[in-house]
Structure 1
Amino acid sequence: MEETSTVPLVSVVIPAYNGSNTIEQTIKSVQVQDLRTEIIIVDDSSSDQTLTKAIAVLKSGSNSYKIIRHPSNLGLSASLNDGLAIAHGENVLVLHQDCELMKPDWISSAVKCMDPKVAVVTGYYGMSDQDEMNLAKKTFGLLRRQIHPRPAKDFEIVNFSEGKCDLYKKRVLESIGGFPTRYRIAGEDLSVSVQLRQRGYSILKQYNLPVLQRYGGKAQSFRGNLRKEFEFGRAMGGILGEHRFRIFEDIGKGYARARTTHRAVQVAYTTLLFLSALAYLSTMNPWFLVATLSFLAYRYVYYALTISSGFRNQRSLAEHPLIDTLWMPALGILSDPIYSLGFLWGLLKWVGGRKI
């Protein structure tokens, strides 16, 4: 572990794992901030050049920094907790290795949003230009509603933090024991969000704080994205088991509600589709076949409209082949049962008391 003696106002914890394609830009976006920070890199036993590239960029800047390297892969929550344990700042920014702060006053502006009731400030997420994205990144970015118009409002209270770039009050995080290590890959932010809301704190989504997410790792392939859908579902299944329906309290409005509703509908839709298909195969009643095909048609139209809207809302993606709008929804239909299977698996793991 390396460090300098400067004690900053904000500690930036960057959990890293095989992120050599994006880690440099992420660190540089912190180095240009107008507020003094320390940068803490927690490398979770990467097998690529992530740590080498990170150290080179850190040494070229003036920020104080610390480096932790895990001898084996311990998971995201363990990495975040290790970073939190050595952070000196009264506020801690959790910044994932593929995210960039798009304003030099991002951190200082987020700090100003903190008040006695606000424990987390999260930003407004966008995507890279089309030229920087392969087809898999673009497709699933659209399907997950990660390309969306910026609301007219400047901020809103939401039920969950984004998990990718969030400013926390350190003492509040410590009061709940940090990030739950039961969630190794995803879901730790959801659990923390529920616990904070139960204690009367708010989570503020600030639309004037843009974050660019470049999506490395699994997001670079179709197979990897489908695996991420399973992991997202597994995390939400564990969260539902742990916190019951409290996860839907104070759900917020607009974009925040739309994303949460989308995930809930994925599970409900898959359940109905499975039941109608099973009923048809059992009885050969044509009405059950009509119901099954209607469910499929509904989801196809839903995803087609989502993709079309995403293309319109991102000017760099405005010119696109019509064929993309026609075939991309099929991947959305495929992602629904994969997410739902993950959701069921997460519930079963929670019941069995295992890590999720």
Structure 2
Amino acid sequence: MSDADSIPAFPPRRTDPFAPPPEYAQWRAKCPVQKVRFPNGQEVWAITNHAGVRDILSKHDTEDLTANRFDPHFPALRAGVAGGKPDGANILYLDEPEHGRLRRMVAPVFTHKKATAMRDGIQKSVDRALDDMITAGPPCDLQTSLSLVIPSLVICQLLGVGYEHHPFFQSVTGKLLSRDTPKEEFQPLLESLHRFVTDLIEQEAADPSPDNILGHLLLNHEPGGEITRSQIAGMAMVLIIAGHETTATTISMTLIQLLRTGQWDQLVADPTLAPKFVEEAIRTQSIPDNTMLRLAKRDFELQGHKISAGDRIVALMGAANHDPAVFENPTTLDPSRPNLRQHVGLGHGVHVCLGQNLARVELDVVFETLARRLPHIRLDCSEADLDWKHDGFVFGVREVPVRW
């Protein structure tokens, strides 16, 4: 067997929805910097330990790497597919200092203080969704009745748009985040979302409000030429794509996980444990596991291994979050961990999730309220019958039948 034949294929498949593929532990034990082969034939360095992933996403991300997915040499799980245009409008694909300059414009909207101030409104939204569920009666699909509803409402509020638009962006984001969406369909989907947010921006510009992101940028940053409307559209698209599916998936998967482990009763007995269970759920699930892709701009050393300019890298969240050197019994959901927030489930470094404070508030409110109002909730099918999104850039579940 040649060296090329011995390079493992990527991505491997999860055998347990709540743990990374078993290959990650095998690679970590052999060498935390492991060469893998993407479906398009690209050879990529997979980083599988906690220290290595944090280094990639912090000091190396600002000095030695690029996040620019439009570079022809960039690692790609799907060739020819990128979430945006090469005009600097997608903040996720930018490097410093431009990334930081644009991020600082919207950062005031996503502070811990702002997220906390939205808590009462999120609480009302969760209560209304549960009222509707209870009125309709069991069984129901938690995914469509609650999990997708809450982040959709929050995104609509952030964008200053009516909730009646949520079916459109739910449908589009679901297809954009699927690796099975045909390449020829991807760009038209992206363009339809771009038209949607461009229309929103034009409507907002007629009478901008400081209370939503679009108005905030139009009032405070467009007049001085700090940001273009194309860049505002790019930020809105990132918010819709990145902030919608991930939060919804975490809601659905966390309920399944708590029921599976028998810890739902623990949360029902003490709903104030919700924030701790949420952190452990984010860590163990690691749903955007293989989305942290980078391209080396210059030579550097990582974990004693030489990375050369032009090398491709994937920093594996799931591997880092299940590194036993940092998290004892890593597959265990343990709300008493002393290092609950040491995970990288929301990223790390300059590209850490911009909406992390808001996502945490949404998840905390959902599970505190669900434990209090529907303590006897349970799956209305066997776990073996659940349909998991093995085809997605973000792992998840399609439906969650429940009753109470």
TM-score by length of 2: 0.26
More strand by share: 1
Higher RCO (CA-CA < 8 Å; seq separation 6+): 2
